[in-house]
A and B are shown apart, each in its own frame.
Chain A
């Protein structure tokens, strides 16, 4: 592979890594079209390379977030179960509904979440009693405060994640864009914990897809390697930014990314991408 192409892949991976670490988003909506349009990959090859980038970014970011206590392992595993149930259900009923209708629903949910995040300040509930199953805490390095929180509406949040899993398996758009707002707006998980937890989860979700492409021989090793190197570098930069930025800023930037992703999905529905 030519050096210039390798460098471009590393740069692309770095962008994906930053998004994954900062917002808990895989960014497949953005990176798959870029891999297809700029590097001439087929849709399956682009999806495979993008999944490897997501795993690399998630592993890099989680190695920091988990140790710092920002990523909530327990909550992440719980929502991973509900999202997977949704993904399986989605795969079973896929074909019963037009994909463009589902993509449109996805867009509307993203736009609604983005608007709510911009308009409403974050609401975090302090644990009522010590040691509850849903009581957690993390230390915010931007101001040195320890933030205790109790996860609320676990049932509603889990059901919403089933919906997120269904939508993402039926549309091919990753679930991070819905899971982070579900955690933050419905379950009242602080934004930094929500995005870090999602960043940990997307690695587990992407693993199943990536390993399937890997063993089926559809993964271009050199392309995937370049993106993985970049994603790791981007993830480390993203974890640094995530720890230093204030919650308010991360929420604001997150909503902008949601609007951008909605626009891209709308372009895809319109057949332009």
Chain B
């Protein structure tokens, strides 16, 4: 699978799982389902950046893989700081 399709599928899986849990959480209502649904949804862009980095490394496109690595470090450190 090429890089663009891998990223698109990562985003698609994130939003579908996230939204299913969110909709269930709104209807039941359940804060636990809303919590996990929103967390998965919010985290999707971070996973997509990781997939982009892996895709660029696999294409041996080193210049752009380096750029993706910087963005990956930024988003992951942002998430870690938020959890602390």
Scoring B11, B18, B67 by chain A CB atoms within 10 A of each residue's CB, the highest score goes to B11
Given that A77-B49, A229-B23 are known contacts, is A208 also in contact with B78, CB under 8 Å in the complex?
A: yes
Scoring A6, A203, A212, A225 by chain B CB atoms within 10 A of each residue's CB, the highest score goes to A225
Q: How many chain A residues touch the partner (CB < 8 A)?
A: 42
Contact residues of B: prevailing secondary structure: helix
Let me know if B31 and A215 touch, CB within 8 A: no
Indicate if A176 sits at the interface (CB-CB under 8 A): no
**Nearest Cβ distance between residue B29 and chain A, in whole angstroms?**
7
Contact of B43 among A133, A211, A216 (CB under 8 A): A211
Stretch at the interface among A66-74, A109-117, A182-190, A255-263: A66-74
Task: Tell me the complex Cα distance, A115–B28, Å.
Answer: 49
Indicate if A60 sits at the interface (CB-CB under 8 A): yes
Task: Tell me the complex Cα distance, A58–B81, Å.
Answer: 23
Task: Tell me the complex Cα distance, A214–B39, Å.
Answer: 8
**Nearest Cβ distance between residue A72 and chain B, in whole angstroms?**
10
Given that A62-B48, A67-B5, A229-B22 are known contacts, is A204 also in contact with B11, CB under 8 Å in the complex?
A: no
* Residues on B with beta carbons closer than 8 Å to the beta carbon of A210: 42
* Residues on B with beta carbons closer than 8 Å to the beta carbon of A226: 26
Write the residues of chain B forming the contact surface with A, with a CB cutoff of 8 angstroms. 3-5, 7-9, 11-12, 14-15, 18-19, 22-23, 25-26, 29, 31, 34-35, 37-39, 41-46, 48-49, 52, 56, 63-64, 67-68, 70-71, 74-75, 78-79, 81-83
